[in-house]
Amino acid sequence: MRPIEQRAILAYWKQFREEPLLVASAPGRVNLIGEHTDYNGGFVLPCAIDRRVAVAVGNGGGQLYSANFREISPLLDGREGSWADYPSGVAWAMREQGYEIPLFRGAFVGDVPPGSGLSSSAAIEAATALALDACFQLGVSRKDLALMCQRAENAFVGVQSGIMDQYASLLCREGSALCIDCRSLEAEPVPLSLVETGLSLFICDTQVARELGATGYNDRRETCERAASRLGIRTLRDAGMKDLEKLSGEECRRARHVITENVRVLEAVKTLRVQDLAAFGRLMIASHRSLRDDYAVSTPELDTFVDVAVQFGALGARLTGAGFGGCALALIKQEDVQALSKIVLQHFKARGFRQPVLFVLQPAAGAEVGT
């Protein structure tokens, strides 16, 4: 059992004075490439990370406890704007699908930095869904659990996110990224040989909070839907470069990002399969430029990190997640971690930015029931 799962069991015991029935945990994710493509029916390539949310669950009570916030909440019937929305939303979505979820208690502990683009919310949702599935022996597939988590996020929490984060958290495997076709929902593991190639996933959390609901996320999604309907297609997945002639202004730029990003993801999968990490890195850089210029979701902090990392000699760098703040990712040699950290801190200071948090992530396993 992982230390974080043990901490959830302890939190449950301290709070409710009894043993939980079981513990489950689910990871956050870092998206390697394929940004803002999921809700356009396109391709994404995330991998699960070694930061997780664990939940210990037991029967009765209808109470939720967060060890991070040291806060107890009832299981909610409707959105409240707090962490409790996520587990409550999952229970709500599972009941809505006809699953019988008796009253339960849950104690949560997590170490995915919240609001940074590493999917702490999907990790809470996925851990809750898997725990409830195991606890009440529902026998739901991982894929259907992910869809119910997404429904919770869309209809209960109120963010129109795509399927990437919940899918990654529930379906990723250790040592692999996951290429998801967000239309067919087919997902294929792609080997991610970082240790073997001496590379690290270096993260810069810009400390600029990224409130998905309060930013342009839903707005970007609507623009894409408008562009697709103008082209007479279901989603921008079906658009090609020629279609851009029929669009103008924002719709054209947003669509261009989606079209080119889908191509980049499929290329990226090929490069990983042959361990051509240099080519993979170039695709990351192109992805960032497209997110910055066409999709307009970058920030001065994210751009600074990417520029500094690339000048330093990173194979690739890009913002990861929705953008508007949060994290960026660079692919660098393991031995360069210290040196790049120093340079990034200097640049951020010189530009008067908030001090970023810099760390290395390891690809990790998807959601699991603790044993």
Residues that bind ligand GLA (CB under 6 A): 31, 35-36, 38-39, 161-162, 164-165, 321-322
CB of 221 to ligand GLA, least distance (A): 8
CA distances 68 to 54, 108, 113, 356, Å, are 11, 8, 11, 21
CB of 224 to ligand GLA, least distance (A): 11
Residue 195, H or E segment: helix 194-197
Q: Which is nearer to ligand GLA, 162 or 316 (CB)?
A: 162
Q: Which two tokens stand for residue 40?
A: 């356009």
CB of 257 to ligand GLA, least distance (A): 11
CB of 327 to ligand GLA, least distance (A): 11
CA dist., res. 130 & res. 162, Å (int): 19
Answer whether 325's CB lies under 8 Å from 206's CB: yes
Q: Which is nearer to ligand GLA, 67 or 327 (CB)?
A: 327
Radius of gyration of the chain from Cα atoms?
A: 20
Q: Which is nearer to ligand GLA, 67 or 164 (CB)?
A: 164
- Give residues with Cβ within 8 angstroms of 320, minimum separation 6: 30, 31, 32, 35, 117, 118, 203, 326, 327, 328, 329
Q: How far apart are the first and last CA of the chain?
A: 6
Closest CA to 149 of 176, 174, 168: 168
CB of 273 to ligand GLA, least distance (A): 22
Torsion 52-296-182-81 (CA) sign: positive
Pairing of strands 316-320, 199-205: unpaired
Torsion 248-250-253-255 (CA) sign: negative
CB of 252 to ligand GLA, least distance (A): 20
Q: Point out the residues that are catalytic.
A: 165
